[in-house]
């Protein structure tokens, strides 16, 4: 008997069908993968299971009984989840965050807690011991008293998973646990998930939502593929992978990587003027220096890729260019003028635009208002503004349909497009993209790739900081490899990525292609 | 239990010190202690549980009027009046919390402001309960046959109580309940997923904060010997709130002490008189501009900085 079943679940938000007749069955003791392109409804499905939203129609059953989830009862019912966006409590240290996961198993009241009565002390001790055990289980090596702001992405993920494990759930829901991790960390995560499944001795299951489809297919016992709010296929990874509808909707193995509209560049780039020049730039956060003497030059119309693993300093570099991070030493020149001492506002107004990693979309504003906010300081007349909007919507067809929709209702892919549109509406001459592919399905990444190629063809200078090398290679004209805050190599993108040793050491690519591990 | 023992020791030392200093300074210290409790109540509600309240003055008034009504009008003994008043503060806080749970930010602040205004109406129009609008006077009180309450004993009690309140608050914020409050403040959905009942947890935060502020009010009534409508206007709430902000946003106990020390004790101690207001505004602006984490955050940062630089220096 399945542990959790969803039968014909439908749900719509204000006219948009998020789920339509969705079915799902998770068997006990399995690692179950849920895959699907952006906007397929994966996170909505997880929100339905965890009781955050109530479906309009359909039935759910957990361990054979009808299941009407309530968020605050979930942990005691045997379900636990992590969130796509970090849900770490920043006010608490690492250990306290995990201890918070044991909340539902404790009962002490206000008086008992504030007077540290024996009951409360006993509970606290038990929770602490359990938290330390769980941190051990997830392989956490950092300091237990560390402020969460000082933790790495992987350590934060470990803390979040540990917190979800505290109530000893029978069903663990993991929402994008691999997002933003390096290849090495993903390997560790894989082993962790398999261990968790095996330690459950055939009784505990894990539901995994992940954009990293190869990861799901190599790891999971069973997979459900979703598209536009419903389930397309269930079965073993092999079965689902071979399912024609799935291939069409999501993987698109046959269709993917066909479009290669790369700008034809007539003038050799070396003759174009240098737009952006960095000379021995060092920068960092507080006491820690992240960038150590970065020197680079970007010429007009170039598309430059910054490769490097997590924490190499790509984001810091882009943030330093835009003035978000002050430089410690070195200079940044833009169109011959020194800009490293200028404020973000002045730099943005001078024509550099950045699409930050978090996709800075205003959730409570409509798509149009989001764009309007970004036009601050342009002093456009009403007519000019309409023209710009039309121009943007001509370029971003998917956004044109959703002009009046709130930012919060957009899918991950639409958000990324809006984030880029918000920068383009200012008609910048240099565009900085920070990890634009994070958390996006391959088809959307293709769309981003096409967009970048188009923009480059129109003469825009683009700098992309990116971990996943594949999609950038065909569009980039030049690349820098960055590791530990230094430029370790510069050259043509393909030359850089073909240097296997370099890729291994710095780019964190999967080792499958060239060595028999 | 260790934390309680340390707290007792600290409280004993603090009371000992306040016993040997001159009477005026002793009175100031006792006033400071009262304000520290009020600020700690706001700190718990605002910086720990994430809810903004302007009602601290009303809850203090509830404490002050409550205890004096029980003592004078009903003639109850001290040992009964104080717990009864605290329970009233807790219950009113709970009710306030139930009204407030669905609100946040500015709407919540306005609702709590409404509570202060309603309380003002009571203390001005409450008939015998409000001393016909002039306030109540503390009757001579005997404690368990030890003798009359002298100003010195009251001052000592204030300081001792404040220290204990801080210890208990610290213990509370480091417990399952404190963790749940921090989680509600930062990420209500994630908190709910761990089993936190948002409604009851928010109500509990208000109730605890209400009882704490009532305690401050009780102590203040004993310290001043009177209650008066002008003590419990929204001005008092706002000054508590600014002390909370200057103290720090991390919900730390140190913040609840540092804010009142800088904004109340130092100006009074050095007789800054009318310059006080300037200091008030200046300190607020300076903190927000230079140390958004407040004095507690700044001193923590300074401490860390000193430790790391001295380490580097030693290495050299």
What's the rounded mean pLDDT across residues B239-265? 90
The per-residue DSSP string of A265-305 comes to P-S-GGGSPEEEEEEEEEEEETTEEEEEEEEEEEETT-EEE
Distance from CA of A385 to the nearest CA of B (A): 34
Residues A416-449 have pLDDT tens digits of 899 999 999 989 999 999 988 877 877 888 888 8
A109 vs B contacts (CB less than 8 Å): 177
Instruction: Summarize pLDDT for A46-65 with one digit per residue, the tens.
Output: 999 999 999 999 999 999 89
User: A83 at the B interface (CB within 8 A)?
Assistant: yes
pLDDT confidence of residue A354: 92
Closest CA to A478 of A303, A270, A267: A303
Among the listed residues A314, A352, A323, A278, the one whose alpha carbon sits nearest the alpha carbon of residue A466: A314
SS3 A473: coil
Phi-psi region of A472 (alpha: psi -120 to 50; beta: other; left: phi over 0): alpha
Bridge partners, B106 (sequence order): none
Q: What is the pTM of this model?
A: 0.75
Residues of chain A in contact with residue B177, where contact means CB-CB under 8 angstroms, are: 108-110, 113
Mean pLDDT over the full length of chain A? 85
E-assigned strand segments in A67-180: 79-81, 171-175
Q: What is the mean pLDDT of residues A79-84?
A: 91
Contacts of B175 in chain A (CB under 8 A): 108, 113-114, 120, 124
**Rounded alpha-carbon distances, angstroms, from residue B85 to A319, B18, B63, B210:** 56, 26, 6, 11
Q: Using one digit for the tens of pLDDT, what is the confidence trace for B22-80?
A: 888 889 999 999 999 999 999 999 999 999 999 999 999 999 999 999 999 998 988 89
Report residue A352 CA to chain centroid gap: 24
Find out whether B87 and B70 touch, Cβ atoms under 8 Å: no
Structure confidence at residue A203 (pLDDT): 87
pLDDT at B266: 86
**What is the least distance, in Å, from the CA of A484 to any CA of chain B?**
22
* CATH number for position B9: 1.10.3470
Interface touch B168/A71, C-beta < 8 Å: no
Largest distance between two CA atoms of chain B: 74
Q: Does A73 touch chain B (CB under 8 A)?
A: yes
**Which H or E run includes A22?**
strand A16-26
| Interchain CB distance below 8 Å, A83 and B250 | no
State the average pLDDT over residues B230-259. Answer: 91
Contact A100 B180 (CB under 8 A): yes
What is the distance in angstroms between the Cα of A121 and the nearest Cα belonging to chain B?
8
Put simply, the answer to whether A115 touches B168 (Cβ < 8 Å) is yes
Separation between Cα atoms, residue A120 and residue A117, nearest integer Å:
5
Q: What pLDDT sits at residue B186?
A: 93
What pLDDT shows up at residue A258? 40
Nearest beta carbon to residue B204 from set A75, A110, A121: A110
Q: Is B95 exposed, middle or buried (0-12, 13-18, 19+ CB in 10 A)?
A: middle
Give residues with Cβ within 8 angstroms of B313, minimum separation 6: none
How many inter-chain contacts (A to B, CB under 8 Å) are there?
Answer: 98
Residue A186 has pLDDT above 50, yes or no: yes
Kindly state the DSSP code that residue A247 receives in the 8-state scheme: I
Distances (CA, A) of A476 to A49, A203, A296: 42, 49, 15
Q: How confident is the model at residue A257 (pLDDT cuts 50, 70, 90)?
A: very low
Residue A39 or A3, more confident: A3
> Do strands A303-307 and A16-26 pair parallel, antiparallel, or not at all (unpaired)?
unpaired
CB contact under 8 A, B179 and A89: yes
Mean pLDDT, residues B119-135: 90
Q: Which two tokens stand for residue B226?
A: 């009177």
Name the phi and psi angles at A338, rounded to 5.
-75, 130
pLDDT at A262 over 60: no
Task: Give the confidence band of A502 by pLDDT, cuts at 50, 70, 90.
Answer: very low
Phi and psi at residue A23, to the nearest 5°:
-125, 145
Strand (E) or helix (H) holding A93: none
Minimum distance, in Å, between the CA of residue A350 and any CA atom of chain B: 27
pLDDT at B287: 81
Backbone dihedral region of A24: left (phi > 0), alpha (psi from -120 to 50 degrees) or beta? beta
A232, A42 in Cβ contact below 8 A? no
Q: How far apart are CA B286 and CA B291, in angstroms?
A: 7
Q: How far is CA B49 from CA A12, A373, A383, B243, B300, in A?
A: 33, 32, 48, 17, 21
CB-based contact A108 B194, cutoff 8 Å:
no
Domain that holds residue B215: 2-315
Say how far apart CA A138 and CA B275 lie, in whole Å.
57
Count how many domains chain B has: 1
Q: Which residues of A touch B40 (CB under 8 A)?
A: none
Q: How far is B157 from chain A (nearest CA, A)?
A: 19
Between residues B223 and B284, which one has the greater pLDDT?
B223
Q: Which of A457, A455, A466 is nearest to A428 (CA)?
A: A455
- A449-500, pLDDT tens digit by residue? 888 888 888 889 999 998 777 788 888 888 888 877 888 888 877 777 655 4
Q: What residues in B contact A71, CB-CB < 8 Å?
A: 189, 192-193
Min Cα distance A54 → chain B (Å) is: 15
Tokens of B144: 């368990």
Mean pLDDT of A160-178: 94
**pLDDT of res. A268:** 54
Q: What is the DSSP string of chain B?
A: -HHHHHHHHHHHHHHHHHHHS-HHHHHHHHHHHHHHHHHHHHHIIIIIT----S-HHHHHHHHHHHHHIIIIIS---HHHHHHHHHHHHHHHHHHHHHHHTT--HHHHHHHHHHHHHHHHHHHHH-GGGGGGGT--BPPP-B-TTS-B--HHHHHHHHHHHHHHHHHHHHHHHTSHHHHHHHHHHH-HHHHHHTT--HHHHHHHHHHHHHHHHHHHHHHHHHHHSB--GGGGSHHHHHHHHHHHHHH-SS--HHHHHHHHIIIIIHHHHTT-TTHHHHHHHHHHHHHHHH-TTHHHHHHHHHHHHHHHHHHHHHH-
CB–CB of A131/A98 below 8 Å? Answer: yes
| Measured CA distances, B212 to A110, B41, B175, B215, B263 (Å) | 12, 6, 18, 5, 20
Strand A31-35 relative to strand A205-209, pairing: parallel
Q: Which residue has the higher pLDDT, B212 or B129?
A: B212
The closest of A455, A390, A393 to A429, measured between CA atoms, is: A455
């Amino acid at each position: 008997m399945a542990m959790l079943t969803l039968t014909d679940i439908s749900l719509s938000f204000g006219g948009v069908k998020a789920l339509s007749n969705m079915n799902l069955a998770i068997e006990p003791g399995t690692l179950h993968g849920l895959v699907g392109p952006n906007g397929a409804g994966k996170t909505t499905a997880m929100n339905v299971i965890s009781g955050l939203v109530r479906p309009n129609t359909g039935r759910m059953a957990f361990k054979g009984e009808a299941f009407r989830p309530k968020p605050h009862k979930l942990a005691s019912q045997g379900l636990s989840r992590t969130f796509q966006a970090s849900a770490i409590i920043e006010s608490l240290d690492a250990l306290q965050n995990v201890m918070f996961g044991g909340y539902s198993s404790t009962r002490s009241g206000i008086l008992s807690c504030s007077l540290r009565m024996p009951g409360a002390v006993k509970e606290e001790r038990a929770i602490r011991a359990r938290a330390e055990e769980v941190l051990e289980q997830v392989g956490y090596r950092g300091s237990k008293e560390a402020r969460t702001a000082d933790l790495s992405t992987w350590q934060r993920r470990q803390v979040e998973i540990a917190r979800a494990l505290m109530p000893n759930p029978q069903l663990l829901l993991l929402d994008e646990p691999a997002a933003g991790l390096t290849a090495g960390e993903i390997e560790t995560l894989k082993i962790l998930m398999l261990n968790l499944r095996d330690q459950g001795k055939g009784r505990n299951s894990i539901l995994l939502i992940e954009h990293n489809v190869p990861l799901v297919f190599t790891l999971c016992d069973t997979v459900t593929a979703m598209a536009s709010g419903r389930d397309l296929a269930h079965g073993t990874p092999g079965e689902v992978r071979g399912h024609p509808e799935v291939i069409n909707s999501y993987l698109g193995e046959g269709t993917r990587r066909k479009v290669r509209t790369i700008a034809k560049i007539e003038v050799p780039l070396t003759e174009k003027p240098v737009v952006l020049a960095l000379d021995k730039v060092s920068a960092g956060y507080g006491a820690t220096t992240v960038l150590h003497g970065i020197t680079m030059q970007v010429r007009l119309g170039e598309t430059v890729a910054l490769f490097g693993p997590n924490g190499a300093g790509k984001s810091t570099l882009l943030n330093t260019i835009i003035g978000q991070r002050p430089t410690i030493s070195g200079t940044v020149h833009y169109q011959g003028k020194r800009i490293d001492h200028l404020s973000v506002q002045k730099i943005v107004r001078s024509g550099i635009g950045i699409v930050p990693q978090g996709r800075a979309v205003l959730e409570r504003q409509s798509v149009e208002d989001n764009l309007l906010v970004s036009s601050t300081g342009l002093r456009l007349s009403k007519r000019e503004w309409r023209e710009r909007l039309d121009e943007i919507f001509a370029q971003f067809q998917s956004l044109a349909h959703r002009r009046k929709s709130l930012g919060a209702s957009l899918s991950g892919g639409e958000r990324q497009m809006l984030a880029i549109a918000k920068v383009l509406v200012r008609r910048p001459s240099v565009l900085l993209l920070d990890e634009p592919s994070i958390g996006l399905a391959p088809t959307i990444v293709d769309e981003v790739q096409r967009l970048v190629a188009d923009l480059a063809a129109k003469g825009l200078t683009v700098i992309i900081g990116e971990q996943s090398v594949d999609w950038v290679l065909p569009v980039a004209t030049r690349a820098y490899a960055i590791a530990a805050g230094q430029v370790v190599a510069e050259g043509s993108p393909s030359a850089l990525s073909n240097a296997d040793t370099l890729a291994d050491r710095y780019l964190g690519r999967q080792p499958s292609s060239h060595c028999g591990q | 239990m260790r934390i309680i023992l340390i707290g007792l020791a600290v409280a004993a030392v603090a009371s000992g010190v306040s016993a040997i200093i001159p009477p005026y300074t002793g009175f100031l210290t006792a006033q400071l202690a009262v304000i520290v409790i009020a600020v700690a109540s706001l700190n718990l509600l605002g910086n720990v549980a994430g809810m903004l309240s302007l009602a601290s003055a009303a809850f203090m008034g509830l404490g002050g009027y409550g205890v004096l009504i029980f003592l004078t009008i009903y003639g109850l003994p001290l040992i009964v009046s104080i717990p009864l008043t605290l329970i009233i503060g807790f219950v009113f806080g709970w009710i306030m919390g139930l009204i407030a749970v669905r609100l946040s930010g500015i709407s919540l602040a306005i609702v709590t402001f409404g509570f202060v205004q309603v309380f003002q109406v009571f203390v001005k129009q409450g008939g015998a309960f409000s001393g016909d609008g002039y306030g109540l006077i503390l009757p001579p009180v005997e404690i368990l046959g030890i003798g009359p309450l002298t100003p010195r004993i009251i001052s000592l009690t204030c300081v001792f109580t404040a220290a204990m309140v801080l210890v208990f608050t610290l213990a509370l914020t480091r417990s399952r309940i404190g963790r749940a409050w921090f989680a509600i403040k930062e990420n209500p959905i994630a908190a709910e997923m761990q089993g936190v009942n948002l409604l009851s947890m928010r109500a509990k935060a208000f109730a605890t904060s209400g009882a704490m502020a009532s305690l401050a009010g009780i102590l203040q009534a004993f310290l001043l010997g009177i209650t008066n409508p002008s003590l419990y206007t929204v001005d008092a709430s706002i000054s508590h709130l600014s002390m909370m902000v200057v103290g720090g946003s991390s919900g730390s106990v140190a913040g609840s002490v540092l804010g009142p020390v800088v904004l109340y004790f130092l100006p009074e101690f050095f007789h800054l008189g009318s310059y006080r207001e300037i200091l008030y505004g200046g300190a607020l602006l300076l903190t927000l501009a230079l140390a958004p984490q407040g004095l507690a955050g700044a001193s923590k940062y300074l401490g860390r900085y000193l430790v790391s630089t001295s380490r580097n220096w030693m290495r050299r």
